[in-house]
Structure 1
Amino acid sequence: MSLKYLILFIIFTGSFLIQAQVFQGQKEYTEADTLRGSLRPERTSFDVLKYNLNVKVEPDKKFISGFNKISFRVLENMPVMQLDLFANMEVDSIIYHGTKLTYKREFNAVFISFEKALIPETTDSLSFHFSGQPIVAVKPPWDGGFVFSKDKNGKDWVSVAVQGTGASLWYPNKDHQSDKPEEVEIHVAAPNGLMNVSNGRFTGKKDLGNGVTEWSWKVTNPINSYNIILNIGDYVHFSDNFRDLDLDYYVLSYNLEKAKKQFQEVHPMMECFYEHFGEYPFVEDSYKLIESPYLGMEHQSGIAYGNKFKMGYDGTDISKTGVGMKFDFIIIHESAHEWFGNSITSSDIADMWIHEAFTSYAEAVYIECRWGKEKALEYLIGLQKTMISNEEPIIGDYSVNKEGSFDMYYKGANMLNTLRGVINNDEKWWALLKNFSETFKHKITNTEEVIAFFEANSDETLTPIFKQYLYHTEVPTLQLKKEKWRIYYRWETSVANFEMPIDVGIKERMKRIKPTSEWQKLRGTRKLDKVKPDLERFYFGVEKM
């Protein structure tokens, strides 16, 4: 789940796979894709500073209306600004200094014209008024959209999940990961008797009359547009603390006791993640779990939780090892996104592996914290068998809103575990991982920057390794052959001049070797069947010739 991105649970050739909403296997792109995914002057000439989002939700009509006051800094001469709102939603008006602006619509993009070009180094704002019936998710969280449902008492239960699909599905914004507002106010008007829970801190409620109450929240940290959410339901609240972090929980009234028991897992999770990833990135905005009518998503400081208070992933173990039933998958995975995805964000969703690989690896990190390294490795090895296809590259296509394959999750996690084996020093590995999390905190980045950081701070040549796993479908293959009573080995890869040190077992002892693309002699044995490559701490293929 992204950005968890939202994690989607699908059945494919008998295996359980996880993918984000936008994954389609698409190779041909339209003008709409380019408008959504690319950065042109209409987008790059301004930096979003703040959203002040006001929305009224009418569940009986499946209708929303309101406005978003968008504050921004002008970076370059700007005669035209691009904002985004899905074509099925109405643009009621766009108000700038008391005057209606003219605009034109192209697919889901709205191009706003100013009477005079705005000049650089100025700050300004406009109010974008909108209304309509947003796209409803047919089978959330498998597809993006609004969720209008009922709880078991027949009360309205409303939420939204739009990662990959785009936050402009329901409100106007600059719908690109390269620009986050520095802060957000969220005001949601909902029917009396129901509560709205959004991101950040609760700032108050107000009776608006006509059977409607407005619930207000404020976020004081940078936030992805798709992470901004509303949750309307018959919620009750309870709270706790971890060190100086406020833990807030919102669940349907009849699930209070179940939640109090299940959410106890947050404490050991925070202990583990603080140790290995650093302090929670959004202390000012608190940490929240909010019961949702779909499985889950990493909404910043307001994580959607729909795992039905079960262990595993909706009651199943995606690794098929038994280890996955030791923890609540949605709590652990979606919370890890607070560090990887919400705090550290890729500028283009083609690089979404930065979110998903580290977050998926965090599952194994948590297992290791609680039950030891052996169980963590067992879990990762199980995922190699159940969750990795090696059919498409992890990296997607840039500038068209297209992420890579679902292998970004667990092939990505096993790639990171392999890097740990390459570094071969756990103290150094954990320091590197924490340094990465803290150095890139609240930053927008890309694949090149991440690779450069890991190589510069590890004293290892890691670039070819990253490129093989990220840009190519096949994993490195260790070729072994016997010639004239000698054993020889080398790497077979798509990346030229590939080098990656690994361990092999010879006569019940582990030996570190440094294969390259050239054949080398293996000393210590003349029997091919006595060579046992370490396939627990490293993820690669083996071919005995």
Structure 2
Amino acid sequence: MRVIRFTNFLFLLVSFILKAQIILNSPDNYIIQDSLHGTNTAYRKKWDVKHYDLVIEPDFNAKYIKGSNKIKFQNKGSDIIQIDLQDPMKIDSILTVKNTIIPFIKKGNFYFLDITHITDKENINYELTIYFSGKPKIAENAPWDGGWVFTEDRKGNDWMSVACEGIGASVWFPCKDYLGDEPDEGMTLTIVTRKNLKGIGNGKLVSYWKEFQKNYFKWQVINPINTYNIIPYIGDYVNFKDIYKGEKGDLKLSYWVMPDNLIQAKSQFGQVKKMLEAFEYWFGPYPFYEDGYKLVESPYLGMEHQSAIAYGNQYKNGYLGQDRSGTGIGLTWDFIIIHESGHEWFGNNISTADIADMWIHEAFTTYSETLFVEYYYGKNEADKYIIGQRKNIRNDIPIIGPHHMHKKGSTDMYDKGANMIHTIRQIIGNDKVFRDILRGLNQDFYHQTVTSKQIEEYISEKSGINFSKVFDQYLRTVEIPELNYYLKDNTLYYKWSNVVPGFSMEINTSIGKIRPSENWKFVKIKNLNEGFYVDENYYVKVHKLNN
């Protein structure tokens, strides 16, 4: 039997190598190598991830991890599928449910699997278990650079986690590392620890057991989830719980922190309920009631890991005790609790299929800070806060990056993106309509991956205003619309400059609403004793010319 199995395997391997040569020498190879995992390649399109069953066991001293990922997927006609795992991690073996070996070829950070002998029908669910191991990339400045963090808490206990939004989940485990395909049926994450360390994951703890001096913590998420949001936290944690009575009933709140921070955490995390009240008002129900809401103290500043948000803001208000708006308003609440939780709606509920469109995550979430301020402190304070954030805008490169290359655009997606949304809100001029759009986005794109085009068109459709040129201006150029004007004989002359062709945006001014275009317009004015000015809630420049 061993000889027969080996012969069959050898035959399959030779057959697969011949197929792989065609792949790796085809024009598509250019896409595979140069776009990394940003493109929905021919070896991704015809299979759909249904569920991940991930097991991870880290070795703190060796800075080494090993584990397995059982992938349940629906085949839609693929003979060869692509799995991503970045060096120096490696796939050790791949087996079917019947322990049949799946042959594969590695090319850079990509593995090509021949599945012809296990998938004979389309639209049927299949399973593969991928065993992997290695010393993962170590993050030097998490969460910004991405990778694993191996450190110690103040008592010298091992403390480990990972952050991988930009670099991708394949930096540490094998998966279909393409944002456009989330596991429709969720995932389970089993974390194996030693000593008395606890393993915290996304969703709800469904089982815990001990075996051979090891601890096993199994967590379950039943909703779709971005792969970069699947995160283990391992440390000497303590836990406390609460309940939030929200729009969909009782939401279970769970907090995992270092023991010596327990008292501070119980005080600081009281802001969670305030956040949930404000955001459910603006955006609709928290999108993951079934999986609960968690804050987990992390060895880095923070990240929006779905239902298990990383918290490392040192139990301070503001951003590590600073106010990014420079107004002082941001020191009245904890930036990480508010901002990272905002991503549960924009980023985790509504997710981009390409990180080139990451403004959908970051602009709306940054604006959620302003909406939180407005809900509790009023509109004037909220306006001051969002206007104050403009000092952070660089206007270096466009907000939308190159598509299909796994490359983000400018960090202006945060503050400039939020100010674009604030400007659009002024143009709509009806806060009920604006709020309905925010709630509608989270309802109509519930648990979906989207493109920028979809979101842009949705806002235009629901507002009844064509915002296409506004989006082109703020998302795809680095130019800020500049209103040029001069006064002559009780007449105001005005027009836009530094704008995309066809740009025309209504703004509110000291003389009422005007709609400048690229061509000069004029209006007679009876009284200019107070001068002429533009409502500063619009993110534009104003330039007075000599007449």
- TM-score normalized with structure 2 length: 0.91
Are positions 1:331 and 2:333 aligned together?
A: no
> What is the rounded CA distance, in whole Å, between the counterparts of 1:332 and 1:433 in structure 2?
17
Q: CA deviation at 1:436?
A: 1.5
SS in 1 for 2:510: strand
- Structure number with the bigger relative contact order (C-alpha 8 A, sep ≥ 6) is 1
Aligned pairs for 1:394-405 (under 5 A) are 394-405=399-410
2:420 maps to 1:415: yes
Residue in structure 2 matched with residue 24 of structure 1 by the alignment: none
Letter in 2 for 1:95: L
What count of residue pairs does the alignment treat as equivalent? 509
CA shift digits 1:55-99 (9 cap, x unpaired): 111111111111100000112x21100010012112110112321
143-152 vs 518-527, which deviates more? 518-527
In the other structure, the counterpart of 2:202 is: 199
Select between 325-334 and 105-114 the one with higher mean Cα deviation: 105-114
Query: Contact between 1:487 and 1:526, CA under 8 Å: does it hold in 2?
Result: no
Given that 1:85 and 1:170 are in contact with CA atoms closer than 8 Å, whether structure 2 keeps it comes out as: yes
Shift of 1:494: 3.1
Q: Note the C-alpha offset of 1:141.
A: 2.2
CA contact (8 A) 2:492 2:525 kept: no
User: Given that residues 74 and 118 in structure 1 are in contact (C-alpha distance below 8 angstroms), is that contact kept between their aligned partners in structure 2?
Assistant: no
- Equivalent AA in structure 1 for residue 102 of structure 2: L
- Determine if contact 1:481/1:528 at 8 Å carries over to the other structure: no
What is the alpha-carbon distance in structure 2 between the residues aligned to residue 79 and residue 35 of structure 1?
A: 21
Question: Any idea what SS the aligned residue of 2:414 has?
Answer: helix
Counterpart of 1:63 in structure 2 is 64
Query: Which digits, 9 at most, give the CA deviation of each residue in 1:355-384, with x for residues without a partner?
Result: 000000000000111111111111111110
1:218 to 194, 216, 220: 220
Residue by residue over 1:199-222, the C-alpha shift from the partner in whole angstroms, topping out at 9 and shown as x without a partner, is 00001211121x311111000000
The answer as to 2:377 corresponding to 1:371 is yes
Q: Distance in 1 between matches of 2:287 and 2:67?
A: 30
1:144: which partner in 2? 146
Contact 1:193 1:234 in 2 (8 A): yes
Q: Deviations over 1:286-335 (max 9, x none)?
A: 00000000000000000000001001001111111111111100000000
Aligned to 2:167, which of 165, 168, 183?
A: 165
1:445 & 1:332 partners in 2: Cα distance?
Answer: 23
**Which stretch of the first structure deviates more once superposed, 525-534 or 420-429?**
525-534
Q: How far did residue 33 of structure 1 move?
A: 3.9
With over 3 angstroms needed to count, the CA separation of the structure-2 counterparts of 1:538 and 1:489, relative to structure 1, is same
Match of 1:12 in 2: none
CA distance in 1, matches of 2:539, 2:445: 26
CA distance in 2, matches of 1:458, 1:238: 43
Separation in structure 2 between the aligned mates of residue 272 and residue 95 of structure 1, nearest angstrom: 48
Deviation track 1:247-269 (CA, whole Å, cap 9, x = no partner) reads 10000111110000000001111
Tell me if structure 2 keeps the 8 A contact 1:78–1:119. no
Q: Select the residue among 428, 447, 457 that pairs with 1:442.
A: 447
| Equivalent in the alignment of 2:11 | none
Within the candidate set 284, 293, 297, 1:278 is matched to 284
**Residues 1:84 and 2:84 aligned together:** yes
Residue 485 (structure 1) shift? 5.0
Partner of 2:393: 388
1:501–1:513 contact (8 Å) kept in structure 2: yes
Larger Rg: 2
115 and 431 in structure 1: CA distance in 2 versus 1, 3 angstrom threshold:
closer
User: Structure 2: how far apart are the matches of 1:488 and 1:433?
Assistant: 36
Residue number in structure 2 paired with 1:534: 535
> Aligned equivalents of 2:438 and 2:423: distance in 1?
13
Go from structure 1 to structure 2 and tell me whether the alpha carbon gap of 1:524 and 1:35 turns closer, same or farther (over 3 Å shift): same
Are the counterparts in 2 of residues 344 and 440 from structure 1 also a CA contact under 8 Å?
Answer: yes
Aligned counterpart, 1:5? none
Equivalent residue, structure 2, for 1:34: 35
Q: 1:474 and 1:78, CA in 2 relative to 1: closer, same or farther beyond 3 A?
A: same
- CA shift at 1:525, angstroms? 4.8
1:110 alignment counterpart = 111
Q: CA deviation at 1:139?
A: 2.1
The one-letter amino acid of 1:318's match is R
The letter for the 2-side match of 1:444 is T
- 1:144 positional shift: 0.5
- Mapped to 2, the partners of 1:144 and 1:525 lie a distance apart of 60
Counterpart position of 1:514 = 515
* 1:475 paired residue number: 480
Q: Does residue 1:269 correspond to 2:275, yes or no?
A: yes
* Unpaired stretches in structure 1, ≥5 consecutive residues: 1-28
Matches of 1:110 and 1:494, distance apart in 2: 45
- Alignment-mate amino acid for residue 255 of structure 2: Y
Indicate yes or no: 2:158 matched with 1:156.
Answer: yes
Residue pair 1:393, 1:472 contacting (<8 A) in 2 also: yes
Query: Offset of 1:36 from its aligned partner?
Result: 1.5
- State, as a whole percentage, how many aligned pairs show the same letter: 41
Instruction: Sort the Cα spacing of 1:255 and 1:418 in 2 relative to 1 into closer, same or farther, 3 A.
Output: same
Matched, 1:290 2:296: yes
Relative to its length, the structure with more strand (as a share) is 1
Letter in 2 for 1:223: I
CA offsets 1:176-221 (integer angstroms, 9 cap, x no match): 1000012101101011301010000001211121x31111100000
Q: Output the CA distance in 2 between the equivalents of 1:542 and 1:149.
A: 50
Q: CA deviation at 1:398?
A: 0.5
Amino acid at match of 1:145: G
Whether the 8 Å CA contact 2:31–2:39 is kept in 1: the answer is no
Q: Give distance in 1, aligned partners of 2:529 and 2:405.
A: 48
Is 1:359 aligned to 2:359, yes or no? no
Q: Secondary structure at the match of 2:539?
A: coil
| 1:30 to partner: Cα distance | 8.5
Which of the numbers 208, 211, 215 marks the counterpart of 1:208? 211
Distance 1:337 1:271 in 2: 15
Task: Deviation per CA, 1:419-473: give whole Å up to 9, x if none.
Answer: 1100111122112211112211101111111111111100112111111110010
Note if contact 2:83-2:110 (Cα within 8 Å) is conserved in structure 1: yes
Give the whole-Å Cα distance in 1 for the aligned partners of 2:280 and 2:491: 49
> Aligned equivalents of 2:310 and 2:120: distance in 1?
39
Question: What is the alpha-carbon root mean square deviation over aligned residues?
Answer: 1.5
Which of 301, 304, 311 is the equivalent residue of 2:317?
311
Q: CA deviation at 1:484?
A: 5.2
Name the CA distance, whole Å, in 1 between partners of 2:116 and 2:534. Answer: 68
Secondary structure of the corresponding residue to residue 325 of structure 1 = helix
Structure 1 stretch displaced more, 438-447 or 282-291: 438-447
| TM-score, length basis structure 1 | 0.91
Query: AA paired with 1:155?
Result: N
Letter of the 1:249 counterpart: Y
Q: What residue identity is the alignment partner of 1:402?
A: K
Alignment of 1:5-24 (within 5 A): none
